[in-house]
Structures are given as structure tokens and as C-alpha cells.
Amino acid sequence: MELKELKNLYSGYEKKYKLPGFDKLNEQFEIEKIDRESGILMRVIRKIMMDKVVNSLAFLDMIANPMNAPRIYLSFIKSISEKDKEVMEKLYDTFGNLSLSCLALELDYSEKKEAEMVKSIYEQWEKARPEFSDLLKRVHKPLKNDVKKEKSYFG
């Protein structure tokens, strides 16, 4: 499906269900990835959006339970603050609740419920995004002063 066609098709749903604009949704969730026509467009869009949410949830889970976390995250994990833990818990709850809410939609299709979920995902993502962005900056560059270096003797 051409991008122009997708925008036109989405605009009908946008007006009908008072959804976020196509460009806003596409900027955050890349819904332009839809490559074929679908009779259940709202479900396809919701699933694309949830891919990002579920990936973010998996990242938070990996940081919170670092048993097999890649080494690149270890300096952050060692220096994680109580504030970071609180932010992670809040984000985890938000993304986890979205994930659980979407499970029921997998059982029975309802265009209206799918549209409501698209709206809810977008709103909750937008609320969580600033804190998530700040957390990711700290993961990328943890505070050097907070990392405790332990000296050990191997001999």
C-alpha cells in the first residue's frame, strides 16, 4: 500500500474515533510499515505500536533482572539509583498494563476497541516518553561517580 493511500485510509478512522494524527503516530511507531491493505487496519496499527511497547518492556525487564544482560549495560546496572529504580518500575507498570490490556483484543475483533487501544497506547507512550528518554540517557552514560570500583587481588 502506498503511503498516500494509507494516510487517506487512516484519516477516516482518525475522524471516526478521534485518533492522533497519522504523522504523530507514524513518527513514534512507524505505522508506515504497513505494506498491504487490510480489512482490520486498526488491529494492524495496534500490533505495530505494541511491538515498540513490548520491546521497551523487555529492555526494562533485562535491566531489572540482569542475569544475562549484555556487558554494555553493566556499568549502568552497577550504578543504578533509587530514582532510576522508581522510574523503571513506573514505566514497567505502564508498558506491562498496556501489554495485558491488548491480550483480550487478540480473542475477539472489535474495530472500536482496537481504535480505543490505539489512542490509549499513544497517550500513555507520550506520557512515559520523557522519563524513558532520560533513563536511556543515563543507561548510555552512567554517572562515573556512582560506579563503585572494587579492587581485588587475584593471586
Q: CA 39, 45, 50 angle in degrees (round to 5)?
A: 140
Burial class (CB in 10 A: 0-12, 13-18, 19+), 60: buried
pLDDT on residue 100:
95
pLDDT in tens, 32-87: 988 777 789 999 999 999 999 999 999 999 999 888 888 888 888 888 899 999 99
Residue 130 falls inside a structural domain? yes
Residue 23 falls inside a structural domain? no
Number of domain units in the chain: 1
pLDDT at residue 151 tops 80: no
Residue 80 falls inside a structural domain? yes
pLDDT in tens, 92-132: 999 999 999 999 999 989 999 999 999 999 999 999 999 99
Q: E strand or H helix at 143, and its extent? A: none
Sequence-distant (6+) residues with CB within 8 A of 72 are none
Which position has the grid cell 495496534?
46
